[in-house]
Amino acid sequence: MAGDAFDEMGPAGAVRAPYAQIERWLKETPAETMEIKRREAEFIFRRTGITFAVYTEGGDPERLIPFDVIPRVLDTREWAFLSRGLEQRVKALNAFIADMYGPQEFLRAGRIPRDLVLENPGFLKEMVGLDVPQRVYTHVAGIDIVRVAPDEFYVLEDNCRTPSGVSYMLENREVMTRLFPDLITRHRVKPVSHYPDQLLETLRSVAPRNCKAEPTVVLLTPGHYNSAYYEHSFLADEMGIELVEGVDLVVQDLVVYMRTTRGLQRVDVIYRRIDDSFLDPDVFRPDSALGVRGLMAAYRAGNVTICNAPGAGVSDDKAVYTYVPEMVRFYLGEEPILRNVPTWRCSEPEGLAYVLDHLAELVVKDVAGSGGYGMLVGPHASAAERAAFAGKIRATPRGYIAQPTLALSTCPTFVASGVAPRHVDLRPYVLVGKDIRLVPGGLTRVALREGSLVVNSSQGGGTKDTWVVDL
């Protein structure tokens, strides 16, 4: 599937309709002006404190995610197709998670290996038989999409635990509105600023059955040392809810309360941004100082809703990902709208043999990895790196999957040498509660290094504003 990358703007003289005005704007705007705007954007992000943290490189861990001032543009027809596919996929994922903690019909029908689910670190036996509101486990899903042709989109991976990055989607739009208001107005760009309102509506819609009044929602953060703390505080502020840490909550008589200056206040919905293992030291890690003792008992009693549900990460596994098309058919009786990337499972002898014989052509991923870590991009790796990685695969084959090196689409990007194509992906955010909601667009991540296919911010990637426009 590798080859010449599809340029979303189109070649000179044959610019695609969504980018027609962008091309004119780029021709009319001197590089010096673009550089000034890029610096202004950086200043805004720095002054606002929009950072993430990298703890593996030494020195100050705080980083600004590089922001590209040239937007990525989709038209409403393209977005309508993606929306239908995303809604279908997230319905199937929620049905799968509910099934795994319930009757396990998918397992009993032999549609997925039992050990892939029941021995998965993301599968929590503590969730078996627990009745959750609306039967929704993943309330906020971030589905990573890549494009390889005008009408060819693939799902690269599913993020059903605690997907991050939505604050950058919102802040990118805010910055573009300040820097280029006329350009946005001319394009009739669909808004995204209502995302926090929709998120709050979604969270309230899954209040527990024992909630008799207007639900009180809080956002549970690990604290300011977490790499995504800016996003946690940003979203809590935008929704007008309290940002809390574990020490701010207490469970009494199977009810969760928040400590306030006016005494204890009941909490009905927790939008948690901490990992499963830290949620409750009575049930998971006993040394956790980030969670709330007794939280799972209150959850099981139906007195609080945790979003996303503990154990939702069973569907994030990159080997489980390969079965999502079959989930769509099994649970919904439909054909998948969005396709998976062809994937070889190293746990299977044929897949393992193929991957080891074709390492130079493939991208190999740790099934539990994230952030661009634990992966090998075969065409860009040295022979020594491929040989070392082959040893890892042989040692634990079930821990890896492999995919062809996709020719990810490119978008015009402002770099040191001027405007040049760079590879991008897209993370739309799907909200699931009583209804399914999507704001038009998502977070476009861009690989700023020439030729690089790795878009993750922790690996040197940046972000773009994503426009959905009426033509």
DSSP, collapsed to helix, strand or coil, labels residue 110 as: coil
> Rg (Cα) of the chain, in Å, rounded?
22
Distance CA 209, CA 302 (A): 6
- Domains of the chain with CATH codes: 17-127+147-190+316-340+410-469 (no CATH), 344-404 (3.30.1490.270)
At residue 157, the pLDDT reads 92
Identify the band that residue 58 occupies on the pLDDT scale cut at 50, 70 and 90: very low
Q: 317-368 pLDDT, tens per residue?
A: 999 999 999 999 999 999 999 999 999 999 999 999 999 999 999 999 998 7
Supply the pTM of this predicted model: 0.93
User: Is 73 in contact with 467 (CB distance < 8 Å)?
Assistant: yes
Question: For residue 449, is pLDDT > 60?
Answer: yes
At residue 407, the pLDDT reads 87
Distance CA 380, CA 361 (A): 9
User: Is 385 in contact with 376 (CB distance < 8 Å)?
Assistant: yes
At residue 53, the pLDDT reads 55
Angle at which helix 166-179 crosses helix 229-239, to 10 degrees, equals 70
Q: 375-410 pLDDT, tens per residue?
A: 898 988 999 999 999 999 999 999 999 999 888 999
At residue 137, the pLDDT reads 98
Q: 227-251 pLDDT, tens per residue?
A: 889 999 999 999 999 999 999 999 9
